[in-house]
Every structure is written in structure tokens, then in C-alpha cells.
Structure 1
Amino acid sequence: MTTENGPERLSPATLKLAGILILGAIAPLLDSTIVNAAIRTLGFQLHASVSTIQWVSTGYLLAMAVAIPITGWTVERFGAKRMWLISLMLFLAGSMLSGAAWNVGSLIVFRVVQGIGAGLMLPILQTVLMRAAGGRGIGRLMSVVTLPALVGPILGPVVGGLIVGHLDWRWIFYVNLPVCVLAILLAWRGLPVDSPKKAHRLDFAGLALLSPALAALIYSLSQVGDQGGFGHWEVIVPLVAGVALLAGFGYRALRTTEPLIDLRLLGNRRFAASSGLLFLSGLAMFGPMLLLPLYYQQLRGLGVIAAGLMLAPQGLGSLLARGTGGLADRIGPRPVILGSIVLTALGTLPFAFADQQTNPLIWRPHWSCEASA
């Protein structure tokens, strides 16, 4: 909807609501980049290999993926405000437990708790804001909602480097505590109370198929590097099991009236294209978030602080593009998405040819080779 002077502005009440929700969303998004910057140090401190310590991030993301499909049912059953508070408390508990972890196994388990909280949190944020905005000014609203995703890549690696360089590694998790506590207090006072509705029946069978399918597929792919290729039973067995479970989930979802995820929505071309783009953008984003810190620290010999500074420019680039948030409202989403894909591809291509001797095009300070432990 537009006014005579251009696109309709978001109301003060919607902006206030967005501010409360964004504060909570900052915690998981900042946490992901902080942990990725410190992944090498975590492996050293906990005496774990790269293939094992990567599950600190992979387990977190897998838990998010499992939690997201049940978010809609939980919001209907318990209400958006209550579930937002529960998700924050889960993330808070996971952060406290992760900081107190005694070995890599316990840390991975506690990161799963964090991931469940984050997986519930992000869809609830979008649901609450879309309801408040009434479908108006979506482009402007998304530019506000995505602010944590822009701040995270800028501050996360630097904060992670500073913490690991000067404090105990446990503080990369304890730093979430004040943010979560403040977000809980503001949400308790500021979020509107919504009454739970009569929820549809939760598809437990679908959940029992989808969750192990995702876990098996992720585990299979994680073994490819360790085994040196796909031709090993450690890769093939979980891959086949994951594909079979995923196919079973798809078969059930198309034949039940209340599936965990309604795959029939993919019959809509626009929805299918948007879902595909979201999936591919996730691959393009989360892969480098884990690999680039290891590249700068292991191959280039940079310390955690210097590696964090090397990662910050990608966040600055996202921040510069934030001013175009309302562009999709004016010219439509297609040209914006296509232009974004081209820019992302051009920016990613040089990293495919980077090696140990690639010129970083940046002044290398004297502390760039500091010990990362």
C-alpha cells in the first residue's frame, strides 16, 4: 500500500514491536558468527579434530532445522508471545550450559538446545511482525527485521576474536546471557498477549521421519571429507537411509490432511521458486561462515582477532545494501533478487581460487599471527 508521497510508512507500534523482537533475534545470529570465528580454538581447547568440532555448528543448525517445522503448531497451541518467551529461555539455558560444557560431546548436546530455541525464535519473529503490519510495507519491514543478520557478520567475528584472544572460550556463550535476559524482560512487558487457538493435530509420524532424515543426510555429508570421498560405507549407508526417510516423509506429507510440512504448497510456482532460492542462499551463506574462519586461521596463519577483522567486510557490504530494503516494494522482488544473485556470485567466485599465497589486499598488522588458543 502506498500514500501520495510514496510507500506507506510503518507505524510506531509496529516499529516498537520490531525493536523488541530484533533484540531477541540478535542473540542467536550473533552467537553463530562468534562461534564460527572461534571454532579452531574450541577444537584445540577441547582436544577435538576439525571433523568433530564442526558438529558444534552443524548440530546447532540441524536442531534449528528440526524445530522450525513445528513452530506453526506451537504458536497455534500456546500463543506467539508464550512461545517467543519459551524460545528465548531455551536459548538462554543452552548458552549457560554450553559455557559450562566439560568436553566436546557435552558442548554439542548443549548447542542442540540452543539450536532448538533459535529454530523456534526466527519464524515466530516473522509471524508476529507480519500480523502486526497486516501485509503492508513488506520490503521496509524486512529491512528492519534483517538488521540482526547484518550486525552479526560485522560484530560476531570481531567479538569472537576478542573473547578468545583475551578471555576464556566459555565467554563466547556467556556473552549471550545479558542479551537474552533483557530480551525476555522487554518481551514480557511489550509483546501483545494472544490467545491460543485450537491447533491442528501435530504430525508425529512426519516428525519421526523428517528429523532422522536430516540427521542422517548431514552426518553422511560430514563424513565425505573424513573418508576422502563418497565411496565408503560410512558415507553411503547414512546417505541412503536419509534419502529413504526423506522420501517416506514426502510420500506421507502428500497423502495426509495435516502434514508437518505441506509439500502441496510447492505446486505454486512462486512459492516453490522462493523456497528454492532460500535453500540455495542458505548453502551460500552458512558454508562460508564455517569455512572462511578456518581458511584465515589455518592456511593464512592469522590469529582469531585478525581473522575476525577479515570477516567483518562481508557484514559491512550487507549493511550498505540495507538502504535498498524498500526497493522491492517499488519495482518488485524479481529484479532485486536477480541482481542480488549476480552480485553474490561475483563476490564469491574469487574465493574458489584462493590459496595460501592469495593477496589479501589488506594491511597485515603485527598481531595477525598471534596464537589463537
Structure 2
Amino acid sequence: MTSSTGGHLHEGPPDTKLDKNVLLVAGVVVLGAIMSILDVTVVGVAQNTFQQEFSTDAAGAAWTATGYTLALAAVIPLASWAASRFGTKKVYLFSLVLFTLGSALCALATSIGMLVAFRVIQGLGGGLLMPIGMMMLTKAAGPERVGSVMAVLGIPMLLGPISGPILGGVLIENLSWHWIFLINVPVGVVAFVYAAIVLRDDAEPSPASIDWIGLLLLSPGLALFLYGISTSAEHRTFMAKGVLIPAIIGLLLIIGFVAHALRAKKPLLDLRLFKNKTLSIAVTTMVLFMVAFFGAALLFPQYFIGVRGESTLTAGLLLAPQGLGAMLTMPIAGRLTDKMGPGKFVLGGIVLILIGMSTFTMLGANTSYWLICGSLFVQGLGMGMTMMPIMSAALATLSNTQVPDGSTLMNVIQQSATSVGTAVISVVLASSLAAKPEAGLAIFANTSDKPLPPGVPDPLPESFFDTAADVFSNTFLISVVLIACTLIPAFFLPRKKIASPLVEEDLERGPIVMH
């Protein structure tokens, strides 16, 4: 790649091909990511089941998802420090054990309180899998191949939301809810053994002390902020005290952390990385994209189930074209991003997403599934060209010593943006349905076994389902506008190969090799 002769650096042609060692590490990371990401969507499918099994209401069952998310938010900021202090291999193996143990305990839960507590244990393990995995992959591949490895890591990030509802539907309908957790146990054991063999200990873990002030500000700040945001759907507004109080307290703690981090010599998370222009542009693009896209992702299964009356399994299968489209473009975009820069691919991808998602702003109660699946396929093509190149644009500009902080930063922002997007779309949808009772009745008829309220015609008039479809199409319009806004920062992403960052500290330490 590079060599030093007579005090000068000579750069040879870039090698973007992933070798055996990098692919082995990628296999470890993908296994961990699949478990962590699948678990979010699989549990989403099981909410009604939890209500029946544990005699709880929707708010109680929702804590099985909220508890996991809050644990993720609390532990992700520790990733950079933990990797430096103990080494990425040890932290990753510990995370796998914690996640697998949490999964087994969840399957044994006999009350909703126990299940929520065990989901928190799962989240504490799952929260470290992605940032530590990104660190290992980025360091193993080097900056000149970061696009290719991000494409590999993007597979579980795409397949999770699509295959989760399918897997959850199959397991719950044919076995029991316990199996949505038990299935993680053998996968976790395999992942642990594989990781223990393949990964190599970091050369010199640092004895650095933890930034306690930063930890006490950022972790509870993120947890409180995301808790407030996540409860907005239940209240159908962002103005409720239950939303505003924790969200504002969390936001103040986060602001306090920012002020602290910019002054501290060794902060929990180095925000000075934002001085890197490419990273700042990439992060801005990613935030807008995550808010818009993952907010919209919440609507697809709800439309199929609530308006069209499909089963959870069928809804998951109808989303498959999106995953197929992404799988076609993601490896190509990842490889070419390393050679040509991310700008062109991200802009082209966003345009394709806009084209695909625009169809959903005109949904009816009987819109052709051929049109819907075709639009999802086009949208998937765009997503494969967008999400991972954005992350590559940020990580490719970092030196080896900056990768832990950069990876942690990206995961914190990604988790926050996804939660905000889901909350915004949920509130808009819930408020719109509340304003149109006939739409709510249509969804109730398709999703509940209970009889319709007295005085309501049975079967419901077709116009009720048309109104419900209109509510969804109007909500999709908000996502389309947000996706269009993503074009602005994306325009400033590099449109040529990003130069590999070679700093003296990296040259002295040499590359980090894993096998």
C-alpha cells in the first residue's frame, strides 16, 4: 500500500480487494450484528403475544423494546474506552456472552417485569457488538478498503428489518414466543467460538482511565433523551410531560457532555473529530437519512397488516424486494466507493429512494402489490448505494488511533437518529389516526380478534379502509420530504477517492492485523 523510503511516502495503486484475513473478521462481525439487529425487529412482531402471555397492556409490552433501546444507548458510549482499555477481542467476546446470556434468560421469563429486565441485559451486550465490530473491521481492512467492509457490514443492517418480521412470524406461529430468544443461543455460541479462534488480541491495550464525568453525563443523557422520544408514540404528541421532562433533562446532560468533551484532554468520546470536514458532512447526511428512512420503515408492515389485513409473515415477505434490491447494489457501491469516493453513489441512491418512496404517497386500500413491490425494489437499490457509502465517507478519513472514537460516535448518532425518526413518524401516524376514527376502526378490524364497538357496521364500509390508506400516504409524504432534504449535505460528499490518512502515530504503530 505505502512504503517509506528516504523519509518520503510513496503510494501505490489502491488494493480494494478484501483478503482472507479481513473476510474472516467480517464473518465474526456479521454474526454478532445479525443477532443484535434481528432481535430488535423480531421483538417488535411479538408485542401482541407479550400482551396476551403476560396479561399486560400495549405500554407494558412496549417496554420489552424500550428497555433494550435504552440499554444500547447507555452502553454504546463506553465502546471506545473499553476497546482501548481491554482490547477489541476481549470486549467483543464479553459482549457476545452477555447478549447470549440475556437471550437465554429472556426465554425463561415468567413475567413482563422479568422479561424487560433480561432485555436490558441483552441490550448491554448488543450495544457493544456493532461499534466494536466496526472498529475491528475498519482497522483490519485499512482506510483504502473501508467501503468494501462497510458493504459487508451492511448486509445484516439491511436484512434485519426485513427478515425479522418473517422470522418472528414463523417462530411465534409454529413454535412459541420463547424461540425468538432461544434461537440466539446456538448462534451466540458459534459466534463466540468463531471469534475466539479468528480474532487476535490487540497489540497494546491502553491502561487509560475512564472519563467518569463524561460517562455520567452522556450515558444517562442519551438514555433519558431516547426514553422521552420513544414514549411520544404512546402519548401521540411530543408536548406531553412524560415526553418533555425526560427528553429535556437528557438533552441538557448531552449538552453538558459536549461542553465537557471539548475541554477535556481525554474525553469519553472525542468530539474534536468533527473538525474533519468530510466526517461532519457524512454525519449530517446520515442523521437526515436515518430519521427519514427508518421512520418510513415503520410504516410498511403497519400498512400491510392494518390496511390490507395481511399476516405478519406475509407482511415480512412483501418487504423482501427491498432487501433484494439493496443486496444487488451494496457490494458494487462499496467496492467502487473505495475507488471513486461516496458522493456520486449517495446522490444516485437518494434519488432512487425518492422515486421508490414517492409511490407510497399515493397509496390506496387496493394498490397493486406489483407496484408496491416494484417500488420497494427500487428503494432497496437506492439504499444499497446510500447507507454504507455515507458511513464509509466518515470512517475512511480517520487514522487507526481515531477509529475507536469515530466508530463509537457513528453508532451513538445512528441509534439516536433511528429512534428520533421512528418517534416522529409514530406520532404523526398516531395523531392522524386519532383525528380520523374511521381509519382507526379499519385497522382495529384487521388487527384484533375483538368485536367491533356497538353501532359500528359490520363489515366496515370500503371507504373506512380508503381513509386508513390516505393516513398512511400522507405520513409517507413527510418521509419523502426528509429524504429530499438529505440531498443537500450529500451534494458536498467527496466525489473522488478519499485519500488514506497516514499520520506519524499510525506509521510508528504499524497496521493492526487480525486473523
Tell me whether the two structures share a fold, i.e. TM-score over 0.5. yes
Distance 1:133 1:224, change over 3 A: closer
Within-5 A mapping of 1:129-208: 129-208=137-216
The C-alpha deviation readout for 1:105-154, integer Å capped at 9, x for no partner, is 32222222222212211121121122222323222222222222233344
Distance 1:105 1:290 in 2: 26
Identity of aligned residues (%): 38
The C-alpha deviation readout for 1:292-336, integer Å capped at 9, x for no partner, is 434433443222221221232222221122232212123211111
Report the more deviating stretch, 253-262 or 170-179.
Answer: 253-262
Distance 2:54 2:285 in 1: 37
How many equivalent pairs are there? 365
Distance 1:74 1:152 in 2: 26
Query: Alignment partner of 1:54: what SS?
Result: helix
Distance 1:70 1:231, change over 3 A: closer
Q: Residue 154 of structure 1 contacts residue 316 of structure 1 at CA under 8 Å; is this kept in 2? A: no
Q: Specify the code of the residue in structure 2 equivalent to 1:287.
A: G
Distance 1:134 1:214 in 2: 31
Q: Residue 77 of structure 1 contacts residue 199 of structure 1 at CA under 8 Å; is this kept in 2? A: yes
Are 2:132 and 1:124 equivalent residues in the alignment? Answer: yes
Are 2:240 and 1:259 equivalent residues in the alignment? Answer: no
Q: Residue 29 of structure 1 contacts residue 149 of structure 1 at CA under 8 Å; is this kept in 2? A: yes
Within-5 A mapping of 1:1-373: 7-324=15-332, 325-351=334-360, 354=363, 357-359=365-367, 361=369
Distance 1:174 1:7, change over 3 A: same
Report the more deviating stretch, 28-37 or 163-172.
Answer: 28-37
Report the more deviating stretch, 175-184 or 57-66.
Answer: 57-66
Q: Residue 29 of structure 1 contacts residue 148 of structure 1 at CA under 8 Å; is this kept in 2? A: yes
Q: Specify the code of the residue in structure 2 equivalent to 1:277.
A: T
Give the CA deviation at 1:286: 4.0
Query: Alignment partner of 1:169: what SS?
Result: coil
The C-alpha deviation readout for 1:191-227, integer Å capped at 9, x for no partner, is 1122452233211222212222222222322343333
Q: Residue 10 of structure 1 contacts residue 137 of structure 1 at CA under 8 Å; is this kept in 2? A: yes
Query: Alignment partner of 2:369: what SS?
Result: coil
Distance 2:138 2:250 in 1: 34
TM-score by length of 2: 0.65
Query: Alignment partner of 1:287: what SS?
Result: helix
Distance 2:299 2:227 in 1: 17
Report the more deviating stretch, 307-316 or 344-353.
Answer: 344-353
Q: Specify the code of the residue in structure 2 equivalent to 1:338.
A: L
Q: Specify the code of the residue in structure 1 equivalent to 2:40.
A: S
Distance 1:143 1:193, change over 3 A: same
Report the more deviating stretch, 86-95 or 345-354.
Answer: 345-354
Q: For structure 1, which runs of at least 5 residues remain unmatched after alignment?
A: 364-368
Q: For structure 2, which runs of at least 5 residues remain unmatched after alignment?
A: 2-10, 372-445, 450-515
Distance 1:318 1:43 in 2: 34
Q: Specify the code of the residue in structure 2 equivalent to 1:341.
A: I
Name the counterpart of 2:501: none
Distance 2:56 2:356 in 1: 32
Distance 1:191 1:227, change over 3 A: closer
Q: Residue 73 of structure 2 contacts residue 223 of structure 2 at CA under 8 Å; is this kept in 1? A: no
Q: Specify the code of the residue in structure 1 equivalent to 2:355.
A: L
Distance 1:63 1:283, change over 3 A: farther
Q: Residue 160 of structure 1 contacts residue 308 of structure 1 at CA under 8 Å; is this kept in 2? A: no
Q: Specify the code of the residue in structure 1 equivalent to 2:159.
A: V
Distance 1:141 1:90 in 2: 26
Distance 1:144 1:229, change over 3 A: closer
Distance 2:189 2:112 in 1: 26
Distance 2:357 2:47 in 1: 22
Report the more deviating stretch, 285-294 or 275-284.
Answer: 285-294
Q: Residue 42 of structure 2 contacts residue 167 of structure 2 at CA under 8 Å; is this kept in 1? A: yes
TM-score by length of 1: 0.87
Q: Residue 297 of structure 1 contacts residue 303 of structure 1 at CA under 8 Å; is this kept in 2? A: yes
Q: Residue 75 of structure 2 contacts residue 128 of structure 2 at CA under 8 Å; is this kept in 1? A: yes
Query: Alignment partner of 1:146: what SS?
Result: helix
Give the CA deviation at 1:155: 2.9
Structure with larger Rg: 2
Q: Specify the code of the residue in structure 1 equivalent to 2:251.
A: V
Which of 1 and 2 has higher RCO (CA within 8 Å, sep 6+)?
1
Distance 1:20 1:215, change over 3 A: closer
Q: Residue 165 of structure 1 contacts residue 304 of structure 1 at CA under 8 Å; is this kept in 2? A: no
Query: Alignment partner of 1:85: what SS?
Result: helix
Distance 1:14 1:243, change over 3 A: closer
